[in-house]
Every structure is written in structure tokens, then in C-alpha cells.
Amino acid sequence: MTRSHQLIVLLSALCCCLANNVILCMDSETSAVRSFGDTWLRWKGQRVEYCRCTLGGRERCHIVPVINCYVSQCYNGGTCKEAVYTSDYICQCPPGFAGAQCEINTNEKCLVGHGDGYRGTKSVSQSGAECINWNSTSLRGRKFTARKTDASSLGLGNHNFCRNPDGDGSPWCYIYKGSQIVWEYCSLPKCPEDKYRECALESGQKYRGTTSVTKSGSRCLPWDSPVVKRKMYNAWRSDALELGLGSHSFCRNPDGDAGPWCHTYKNMMLTWELCDVPKCCERPMTTLDPRAPTIDNNARGTCGQRLDNTLSQPSFRMFGGRASDITEQPWQAAINFYQPRHKRHFHLCGGVLIDSCWVLSAAHCFEDRNDVKKLQVILGRTFRKQNSSSEQIFEVEKLWMHEKYDPETYDNDIAILKLKTDIGICAVNSREVLPVCLPERGLVLPDWSECEISGYGKDAEFSHEYSERVKRGFVRLWPKERCVPEVLSGRTITSNMLCAGDTRGLDDACKGDSGGPLVCRNNDRMTLMGVISWGDGCGQKDKPGVYTRVTNYINWINNKIKGNPV
């Protein structure tokens, strides 16, 4: 065979592959299928690879630089990264979510209603057959595939999980039956009945039902419809999960309107309209007090009691960038400082809610920014820059830095802020806002006790930006004999400081976390043992973080509160 003849045969084979769109590449971990010429991004450790599907099922990949997406393509609070030289993007998903756009809820195990909004990972039909990937070329010509223009809104993608894109009786999928492709229902249990799911409490901001029709009878548009991408409320907001927005068309009330609503078309015009969601007849009981407790709350047992009241496994990191939720550290505060030149507030430091109108922080945060008129305290916010229905925002009435604070050594690095109010109450108890317990003076916990830190600080020492989302890390209390200058580049350690760190070198506080909490479990309550103060870098192995020892300042704190009643 001549060389020119061989070239003709090769070109013919290539044309056949392209004409039939033969699948050549498959990801064994995600079941994602790729056709010849497809490109995609994937994580390689902390870096990103650009990959192309080539002949023979080979993946050609190389490391590429990425930047934050100009417009996010990720659901459920995922962080969107975009390749510098292409339009490809990749999502960094929060815990519990997966998929190319963080659209898959790995914790969803049951159905609400007919399962139109089901986004779980069931991939076997009721007969036990494995579901076919919705992106498979064997489904070409079928009505519902991953190649539909509205596939993402229907839950369809490069996966083989059961879905209900046509409003059938329950989720289903395509399967092979002999040599034929047929569809079959999947076996999924119904979620426990919740009599408050399909009705609205008050204005319905927590409504998570399945009504998808407006009061006039118009069908709601999906929150991820391309036509609402430039609207303020859509499925790509960083706080979309918190607001109940996603790849569905169910009515929601993300902005505190009169009731749940949705985007819709009326007279060929894009608009919005309230939905016909009934009011709940009664309000479920809550165990939360109507307001945060007073300074003697330790005796009443209402402080330090978050929603789950458990110490989870260490999966959320400060240094390194893993995200958390504000309900896991409801005492966390963000302290902002107003800059007239930019006409807006900027993140300054963290803080800790210890009582309804009182927040602790680090003194060094306010050395050059102690004008209380420019300070702002935000509680109850998971995402640092995004407004939330759970947030509580306060101005500051007064600030006290410790009288013996030493800016050279950071000794006595503690400050207390009194929040401004006209009604005798400031922070109100909720799932997202609760005070932490103060320790008894002289309380000493065992060496190497596991504790938690949290904040909105930088993910790494030289990061340009503070974290978009609150983070939680796990550290252990170091023995006094190991909390010495020799492990901290010779810097002074005083009796007003304590050391804590992660012996793995994974979790640590970083710039912007200062003033935040170091909390430890004591008598089944989360107790404030330290205020984040300083460290030698971020997350360096065998180098602890240094914290202000709160037990040394209980009298100082109580004197400020009792001497300045609300």
C-alpha cells in the first residue's frame, strides 16, 4: 500500500468517527463520556489541567493557568474557575455537591413530590439495570439527552443518574434491554412528609416546596434559565443554595418580598410574579430564645449550642480554602471598615459574638482603624460579600482596645466592641446567629485537645483576596513547653498567649482571620478559649498559631459590659 493510500484510509476513518460522533474517552470515576475533539478541564491536585479527547480513547492533558470566571457557571455556591486562554471552565464544589457545575447533590437520597427536582446519584433502574449516560451518542434522536439546550435545568448532564425531565410519575433513565434502548423508572423512597413544606411561614423566605405556577397561572421559568442570567436572583449566585435557588422552577422568596415568586413570561415579556402558595396554619415550635442571652448565659446553657452541637470530622480548612456554613460557627462575626475613597466597606477582621450587643476581637485590628463611625459588624452571613436573609448587620457604638496592648509583641491583643441599638437588644438568636460561651477564669483544658477556628481570612499567606465564604479548621492545643519563641522565629511569647495548631500542617488561621474564635468543647458547649492573634506564616508544618488567652481577660470583659449597660 502506498503512503498516499495509507493517508487516504486514515482520513476516511477520521471522517467516519466525526460523522458518527463515536465516543472515545470515558472517565472511570465520574462516568463522563467524551467524543473525539471534546475538551474539558479537570483538577490535578491544587492545579487545573486542560484535556482533549484524541483518537484511540487517549486523553491529552496539560496544566493551564485559571482565573475567576467573569460570570459564574456553578450551582450551589461552587467557585467558578476559567482557563486563561479558552472559554472552558471548572467548578470547585462545596461539600455534598459534585458534577461539572456542582449540580449533583450527593446527599439527596429521597424524592419530594414526583422528583422533578431530584439531583441525587441513583444510577440503577428498578429492574437493576445500569442507567445509560445522558450524554451517550447511543441516545441520539431521543427527546431527553444531555445535548438538549435546557439540559442543565432538567438535571441532565454528562452522568447516568436518574432524573425526571418530563414531569413523569418519578425519576427514570434509559437502559439497555437486550439490543434495545428503553426507559425505566428508578426505585427511590419518598422523603418523610413535612406538613410545612408546601405552605409558607410568614413571607415564605424558608419555603422549599414544589409549586411552580404563578397566581395568574403562568409557568415559572427555571432559576438557571439563560434568560434570567443577568437578573439579580438566579441559580448562579454564590448564595443560591442558601436562598433555595437551583436548577428548578419552584417558587422561592430570596429577597424577602411579600411571598414566594418566580421569573415568568407574560405577554411575551420577561417579568416576575408572586406564586399562589398557601400560608401555614401554625408555626412550628422552636427551641431558640427570642434574643441572645445576657452575660450570665453560661449558667443558663444557651450559649455555645449550635444547630448540630457536634464536632464533625475535620473536612473544612482555613489555610487551603475548604468552605463551611455559618450555622457551624454562628458566633462568627465579620468586621468591616468603611473607606470613603471607594465609598464602601472592606473586610477588616473577624470577631466573636459573646452576648447580644457585645463582640470580641483582636486589638491589633484597630491600631489604625479605630473610628467607630466607620466600623460595621455582620453576623449570620456564610458568604462574605453576599447579602443573606439570615444576616444581622450593626453599627458600632463604642470600641475598647486593651489598655496594656503592646503593638510590638501583641501582648494583651484583645478588644471589645459594643453594638449600636435603640431598642435595648442587638443580635437575635437564630440558627445562624448565636453567642459562644465564655470560659470560667482559670479554666485549663488538656494538652492536645481538639478545637476549632473559623473566619473569612485568606486561603494562603500570599493570596490576593480574602475568602468568599466562611471557613472552619481543626487545631489542637499545644503544651506550654512547646509554645516557645524557638518555634516561632524568636518572637516573644507571654503568659497571655496560647498556641494551637494542626500537626498535619493543613489547618491554620491566616490574614483576615484575626479577631476570630478559637473554640473548644467544654461540658458539651463550645467555649471561647482564644482570639486569633498572630502566627509565623500560614499553615507551616510544626509552627502553631498564637491566640490571646481569653481566660486571662474574663474580669476585663465583665467590667466593660457591666460598666456600659445597653
Quick one: cell of 509? 488561621
Catalytic residue check, 413: yes
Domain boundary pick from 42, 68, 94: 94
Amino acid code (one letter) for 60: R
**What CATH number does residue 54 fall under?**
2.10.25.10
Catalytic residue check, 364: yes
Let me know if residue 14 belongs to a domain.
Answer: no
User: Would you state the pLDDT for residue 137?
Assistant: 86
- Whether 116 and 36 share a structural domain: no
Quick one: cell of 308? 448540630
Cβ pair 501, 545 in contact under 8 A: yes
Let me know if residue 528 belongs to a domain.
Answer: yes
User: Could you give the count of Cα atoms lying within 13 Å of 531 in the half-sphere of its Cβ?
Assistant: 32
- Enumerate residue ranges in the chain where pLDDT < 50: 1-21, 283-300, 309-321, 460-464, 505-508
Domain boundary pick from 64, 94, 124: 94
**What CATH number does residue 351 fall under?**
2.40.10.10
- Whether 242 and 352 share a structural domain: no
Let me know if residue 138 belongs to a domain.
Answer: yes
- Whether 65 and 135 share a structural domain: no
Let me know if residue 309 belongs to a domain.
Answer: no
Let me know if residue 516 belongs to a domain.
Answer: yes
- Taking the C-alpha atoms of residue 531 and residue 455, their distance in angstroms, rounded to an integer, is 11
Let me know if residue 305 belongs to a domain.
Answer: no
- Whether 155 and 228 share a structural domain: no
- Whether 266 and 183 share a structural domain: no
Cα of 524 vs its chain's centroid, Å: 26
- Taking the C-alpha atoms of residue 319 and residue 402, their distance in angstroms, rounded to an integer, is 28
User: Would you state the pLDDT for residue 299?
Assistant: 39
- Whether 543 and 456 share a structural domain: yes
- Whether 73 and 200 share a structural domain: no
Of residues 364, 390, 454, 507, which has the active-site annotation?
Answer: 364
User: Which 3-state string (H, E, C) describes 474-525?
Assistant: EEEECCHHHCCHHHCCCCCCCCCEEEEECCCCCCCCCCCCCCCEEEEEECCE
- Whether 538 and 509 share a structural domain: yes
Q: Residue 414's domain spans which residues? A: 322-562
Let me know if residue 314 belongs to a domain.
Answer: no
Catalytic residue check, 389: no
Cβ pair 85, 57 in contact under 8 A: no
Cβ pair 400, 422 in contact under 8 A: no
β-strand 450-455 against 415-419: which pairing, if any? Answer: unpaired
- Whether 50 and 112 share a structural domain: no
Let me know if residue 546 belongs to a domain.
Answer: yes
Query: Which residues make beta-bridge pairs with 378?
Result: 334, 393
β-strand 392-401 against 375-379: which pairing, if any? Answer: antiparallel
- Taking the C-alpha atoms of residue 309 and residue 325, their distance in angstroms, rounded to an integer, is 14
User: Would you state the pLDDT for residue 28?
Assistant: 55
Of residues 116, 413, 508, 513, which has the active-site annotation?
Answer: 413
Rounded to 5 degrees, what angle do the CA atoms 83, 86, 90 make?
40
Q: Phi first, then psi: what are they for 467, rounded to 5°?
A: -65, 140
Count structural domains, the chain: 4
Domain boundary pick from 143, 164, 192: 192
Quick one: cell of 206? 424558608
Spell out a b/e string for 89-103, using b for 16 or more CB atoms within 10 Å of the CB, else e.
bbbbbbeebbbbbbb
The reply to whether the predicted model has a pTM over 0.95 is: no
Cβ pair 458, 320 in contact under 8 A: no
- Whether 257 and 150 share a structural domain: no
**What CATH number does residue 233 fall under?**
2.40.20.10
Sequence-separated (6 or more) residues with CB below 8 Å from residue 559: none
- Whether 260 and 159 share a structural domain: no
- Whether 32 and 167 share a structural domain: no
Pick from 519, 495, 494, 509: nearest CA to 544: 509
User: In 10 A of CB 133, how many CB atoms?
Assistant: 25
